[in-house]
Amino acid sequence: MNKVLNYIPKDSFIHRLSGTTKLVIFLTFSILCGASFDTRVLIALFILSVIGFLLSKISLREIRVMTTFLAVFLTLNFILLFIFNPEYGCELYGSRTVVAHLWGRYYITLEQLFYQFNVVLKYVIGFPIAILFISTTNPSEFAASLNSIGIPYKASYSVSLALRYIPDIQKDYHEISQSQEARGVALGKDVRFTERIKNSIKILMPLVLTSLSRIDEISNSMQLRSFGKKKKRTWYVLKKMTAADYAMIVFCAVILIGGLIITNQGGNNLYNPFVR
């Protein structure tokens, strides 16, 4: 389970929500994360995302691989941001408070640390929301929900296929990497990083070919079942909107409007604690 990111069926408040509602939640957090650099808004979103993750009853063990990937990505991103532009935080906030001097042009400043903290916070907010959306949403139910609010069923079904395809790609990558290792292509921790990257590229071609083959099989199966012949279709899995769904949509609208208002209070999208 923890090797592949896919739908994890559980009995939780988040799972019981409609797929449409979860899409609204995902879009609300994504829009605010992209539009806002206000630390107060980001911290509020982080708290809400953690609460949502706890309500979903999904354990960290079940998404261990993705958690490890996020930790490595955040570490590299934090280091590279400082290496390539160590003074950007000072330019952004219009002040410079030196904490320590490392070497050359590299100074540790409160402004740069605060800027990079906000960047990390954006990723940390987006991670649990994306995980929640994929892990708590049945692809078939999500397609049915989209169709029920007026989206053409062909487009809805395409989204469903995309959600189902994510775990298949991960599974294929894992199986191909094991096959390559059995043939002597080393990918373990004892291999140098550059060699591991080079050997990982050897997995891409079989993965692409496998994906193309699966796409061909799916398209043939859909044609044999006369997919798209009728203007409407019925759904085996359809979850109707409940009071909880409407309440969550209203809650998301309040969060979105309130977050945008707070973000643009000072005429820009950031919170500056260094203003004197």
| Whether the Cβ atoms of residue 116 and residue 74 lie closer than 8 Å to each other | no
Question: In whole angstroms, what is the distance from residue 45 CA to residue 17 CA?
Answer: 19
**What is the band of 252 on the pLDDT scale with cuts at 50, 70, 90?**
very high
**Cα–Cα distances in angstroms (integers) from residue 211 to residues 172, 217, 221, in the given order:** 9, 10, 15
The pLDDT, as a whole number, for residue 2 is 46
**What is the band of 185 on the pLDDT scale with cuts at 50, 70, 90?**
low
Mean pLDDT across 159-176: 74
The pLDDT, as a whole number, for residue 1 is 43
Distance of CA 199 to the CA centre of its chain: 27
Among 16, 20, 3, which residue's Cα sits nearest to residue 150? Answer: 20
Report domain extents, the chain.
Answer: 1-137+242-276, 139-236
Percent of the chain beyond pLDDT 90?
10
Say what the pTM is. 0.74
Cα dihedral sign, 36-68-1-165: positive
| Whether the Cβ atoms of residue 132 and residue 32 lie closer than 8 Å to each other | no
The pLDDT, as a whole number, for residue 267 is 65
Mean pLDDT across 72-98: 86
Question: In whole angstroms, what is the distance from residue 253 CA to residue 170 CA?
Answer: 34
| Whether the Cβ atoms of residue 58 and residue 131 lie closer than 8 Å to each other | yes
Among 30, 22, 1, 7, which residue's Cα sits nearest to residue 162? Answer: 7
Residue 96: DSSP 8-state = -
60 or 57: whose pLDDT is higher?
57
Mean pLDDT across 68-85: 85
Distance of CA 272 to the CA centre of its chain: 27
Largest CA distance in the chain: 70
Alpha helices for 56-152 (secondary structure H)? 64-84, 88-93, 110-135, 139-148
The mean pLDDT of the chain is 81
Q: Which pLDDT tens digit goes with each residue over 82-93?
A: 888 888 888 888
Counting beta carbons within 10 angstroms of the beta carbon of residue 164, is it exposed (0 to 12), middle (13 to 18) or buried (19 or more)? Answer: middle
Q: Is the pLDDT of residue 184 over 80?
A: no
162: which 2 tokens? 């995309």
The pLDDT, as a whole number, for residue 36 is 85
Say which range, 107-111, 159-163, 193-197, has the weakest mean pLDDT. 193-197
76 Rama sector, left if φ>0, alpha if ψ -120 to 50, beta otherwise: alpha
CA dihedral 146, 147, 153, 157 (to 10 degrees): 40
| Whether the Cβ atoms of residue 13 and residue 251 lie closer than 8 Å to each other | no
Among 251, 21, 272, which residue's Cα sits nearest to residue 132? Answer: 21
Helix, strand, coil percentages, rounded to 5, for the chain: 70, 5, 30
Size (the chain), residues: 276
Helix axes 39-55, 243-263, angle to 10 degrees: 160
